[in-house]
């Protein structure tokens, strides 16, 4: 009896939860056998549930899982609660980040990551929220310039977006170049048209132009020559 109990206790201490006490026993030895076998069952249940949740979250990327271990108490309950707390926090964080990323991909820049976070998750939250702020600034400035030039006819505007780089800087620069070119072209054409209206035929359109603006430049200059 004692040797069988010692074998199982040693196995448990070494992380082997496949052993159970099988020797016949009576009285207090039977109680000890029952208690130790129940302990092995609970440790197996605890280990299985924690492993399942860890595999779901850490390997398979399946969020929302919780370890359910009946009848645990003390340290085992505390460990189960800690694993469940970790899984729940990670679920909230990843889902909130995914919601914002999806919103941005769909052109919705009103969403921000609001979930509590620490460490590297906090760094990711800060980075993504900063990205949303920069995209909002970029979008707002480009929209403003496009509205001023294209809708209101107010020339000379330039998009000013602090801290942008890469593609966003390139896009901002392209919009500003377009607005600047259009400003120069329209103002030069307007100067010549005004001069002609006032009887001054010494002015010609000299600004660089392409496409339909070039056609307009050529037509007006030809008109001045005639």
Residue 188 is encoded by which pair of tokens? Answer: 């030069």
Same domain, 101 and 21: yes
Last residue of a domain, one of 76, 107, 138: 107
Give me the pLDDT at residue 182, please. Answer: 93
Q: What span, in angstroms and rounded, lies between the C-alpha atoms of 3 and 201?
A: 117
Give me the pLDDT at residue 126, please. Answer: 97
In a domain, 112, yes or no: no
Give me the pLDDT at residue 73, please. Answer: 87
Same domain, 155 and 201: yes
pTM: 0.77
Last residue of a domain, one of 107, 131, 164: 107
In a domain, 163, yes or no: yes
Give me the pLDDT at residue 226, please. Answer: 82
Low-confidence ranges of the chain (pLDDT < 50): none
Give me the pLDDT at residue 71, please. Answer: 83
Last residue of a domain, one of 107, 132, 149: 107
Give me the pLDDT at residue 58, please. Answer: 87
Same domain, 127 and 95: no
Q: Which of 73, 63, 66 is nearest to 50 (CA)?
A: 66
In a domain, 134, yes or no: yes
Give me the pLDDT at residue 101, please. Answer: 96
């Amino acid at each position: 009896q004692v040797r069988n109990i010692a074998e199982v206790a040693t196995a448990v201490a070494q992380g082997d939860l496949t052993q159970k006490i099988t020797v016949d026993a009576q009285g207090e030895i039977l109680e000890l056998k029952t208690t130790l076998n129940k302990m092995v069952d609970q440790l197996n249940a605890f280990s299985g549930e924690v492993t399942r949740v860890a595999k779901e979250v850490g390997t398979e990327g399946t969020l929302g899982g919780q370890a359910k271990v009946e009848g645990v108490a003390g340290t085992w309950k505390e460990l189960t609660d800690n694993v469940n707390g970790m899984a729940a926090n990670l679920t909230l964080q990843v889902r909130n980040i995914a919601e914002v990323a999806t919103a941005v991909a769909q052109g919705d820049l009103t969403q921000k990551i609001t979930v509590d976070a620490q460490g590297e998750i906090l760094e990711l939250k800060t980075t993504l929220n900063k990205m949303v702020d920069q995209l909002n600034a970029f979008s707002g400035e480009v929209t403003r310039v496009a509205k001023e030039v294209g809708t209101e006819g107010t020339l000379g505007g330039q998009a000013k977006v602090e801290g942008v780089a890469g593609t966003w800087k390139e896009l901002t620069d392209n919009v500003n170049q377009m607005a600047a070119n259009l400003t120069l072209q329209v103002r030069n054409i307007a100067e010549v048209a005004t001069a002609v209206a006032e009887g001054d035929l010494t002015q010609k359109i000299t600004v660089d132009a392409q496409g339909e603006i070039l056609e307009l430049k050529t037509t007006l200059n030809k008109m001045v020559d005639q």
